Amino acid sequence: MTLKPRLLDCLHGYNRDTFMKDLMAGIIVGIVALPLAIAFGIASGVTPEKGIVTAIVAGFIISLLGGTKVQIGGPTGAFIVIIYGIVNNPAYGLQGLLVATMLAGVILIALGAFRLGAVIKFIPYPIIIGFTAGIALTIFTTQMGDVLGLTQEAVTEGGDIVRIPLKTPGDFIGKWVCYAQNIQSFNLWNFVVAVAGILIIIFSPRLLRSVPVLNKIPGSLWCIVLGTVAVLVMKQYGITGIDTIGDRFHIQSQLPPMQVPHITFAMVQQLMPVAFTIAILGAIESLLSATVADGAISDRHDSNMELIAQGIANMATPLFGGIPATGAIARTMTNINNGGRTPVAGLIHACVLLLILLLLMPYAEYIPMASLAAVLVMVSYNMSGWRAVRGLLKNPKSDVIVLSVTFLLTVIFDLTIAIEIGLIIACALFIKRVMETTEISVIKDEIDPAEEADMALQDEHLTIPRGCAVYEINGPYFFGIANKFDDLMGALDHGLKPRVQIIRMRKVPFIDSTGIHNLQNLIDMNHEDGTHVILSGVTPKVHSQLEKAGFYQKMNPDHICPHIDVALQKARALLGE
């Protein structure tokens, strides 16, 4: 399959009606993306305009080059934990974030170029649910300071004591300890604005369902607009202490100049694990979003082209000071629900955000932090996937273990560690399950022809001759089973060891290098003891693997039999019957 952006296919037969639908969807998605981009930027520990710049640059590139028709790209809640950790780490800082994002882009391009898009889909579901739920809880935790309006004392250069927004540690437990220590600074009006914002997001779609024009405006935008108006009115009546964006940041109403971050080999070595985490997380979220979108519009995305587009976007956004980006499920579904059917809608969404940045950003400084916190609290709730978690708890214990470990490591330690340890545990449990499905049995007396598909049924000599044993391997013959087979052979009493051993491999779908090495050792040891080894029913795939490994050079060709009755005849001949 040729790697080609879906936009090229969509432009064939593109008409005015399709453009008008894409135009309306793009405008609405651009408006929806604005508060989310600002909120994700602030929550990540960077400035609001960095979130908007990311939505503009990455959103445009992902729609221009992506492998889906309707994917909307930009900053997402999944990256908040990683970005915050990098920016607040003295060893990395903002420069480290830019370098890590560009490295993640290179990794994503490599994944797509080597056609590894499908491999991402094989990451175990419990791991995805575990770290997603962990990220959701972490995002919720980071917003509690703004929801409660907590502050802390600080000393100015003139020696005066003032109260400033609460600065919390980077770790989960440290944040809650800090909240408890400063709970006396609780601001009731700040809390009221945040709770009101949450209620607006929840109930506005239901209340406005019957109003065709207003029901297209998302609850998050109603929360921002109404919260801003309410705080401005409250300040007129002397109610203060509710922080706005302008109290903490000055938003620049322009795209920052393009600048290549300083990169050294030492930085690359140091940031590669973080970049790998960003790349994997971005790949998972973008392909999950694309899969959901496919189901909504009855389409099929090109996962490899999508990864390449995500990679280019993540290499480009740091040039303008942006943060990591990926496909956003909520914005993609908003695009679909409002009529967007081609990447043109995504391009328009990026242009709308650019116009807002250039013309309306001074007004964004009046947005209360409590309203942004309300938006992120709802983002964390929607990310949590608590229904999926509840369903997984009913699954086998191994799935519950992977889910729990990934969740706890994400919350308490680090997302990079969580994904790595989660994958290790999932792989170990998978190997254990495969080992349990592979059986090795010993047959010493008779073989029932009614149960054996590889026998010539007219052959009546089904009895295994004295001095011969048949070993049946049922399942993959890889390193775990090879050792198990070694243990079985080692447990034989050498005084009663059969002179002929038949190994039936008709139900072995594949064999790895350890299995081949195991068989070679078995041949060598039995050759020293004067024992003959016969292989029976080797499948074509396994036969090819053995042949490539040079295994048959150590065996007599007559000792390789197509099925069991030929193998038994050969055994009788070797035993002199």
Taking the C-alpha atoms of residue 32 and residue 38, their distance in angstroms, rounded to an integer, is: 11
Is 253 a residue whose pLDDT tops 90?
no
pLDDT band at 419 (very low <50, low <70, confident <90, very high): confident
Going from N- to C-terminal start, the domains of the chain cover 35-149+186-428, 439-575
What's the pLDDT tens digit per position in 263-303?
889 889 999 999 999 999 899 889 888 988 998 898 999 99
Check residue 458 and give its pLDDT: 47
Note whether 127 and 423 are within 8 A (CB). Answer: yes
Strand duo 468-474 + 439-443: pairing: antiparallel
The amino acid at 247: D
Residue 195, both tokens: 């709770």
Contacts of 191 (CB under 8 A, 6+ apart): 147, 148, 149, 370
Residue 413, both tokens: 């330690």
Check residue 75 and give its pLDDT: 95
Check residue 495 and give its pLDDT: 53
Q: What is the length of the chain? A: 577
pLDDT band at 459 (very low <50, low <70, confident <90, very high): very low
Range of lowest pLDDT (191-200, 256-265, 449-458, 542-551): 449-458
What's the pLDDT tens digit per position in 209-230?
888 777 777 888 899 999 999 9
What's the pLDDT tens digit per position in 125-171?
888 888 889 888 988 999 999 999 998 887 777 767 777 888 888 78
Give the mean pLDDT of 491-506. Answer: 76
Task: Decide yes or no: CATH 3.50.50.60 for domain 439-575.
Answer: no
Phi, psi of 472 (to 5 degrees): -105, 120
Check residue 140 and give its pLDDT: 93
Check residue 486 and give its pLDDT: 64
Contacts of 213 (CB under 8 A, 6+ apart): none
Q: Of 97, 496, 135, whose CA–CA distance to 318 is shortest?
A: 97
The amino acid at 255: L
Distances (CA, A) of 421 to 266, 270, 414, 574: 25, 19, 11, 52
Check residue 184 and give its pLDDT: 93
Q: Is the pTM of this model over 0.85?
A: no
Question: What secondary structure letter does DSSP report for 318?
Answer: G
Check residue 246 and give its pLDDT: 87
Check residue 460 and give its pLDDT: 47
Would you tell me how many other CB atoms lie within 10 Å of the CB of residue 176? Answer: 14
What's the pLDDT tens digit per position in 351-375?
999 999 999 888 888 999 999 999 9
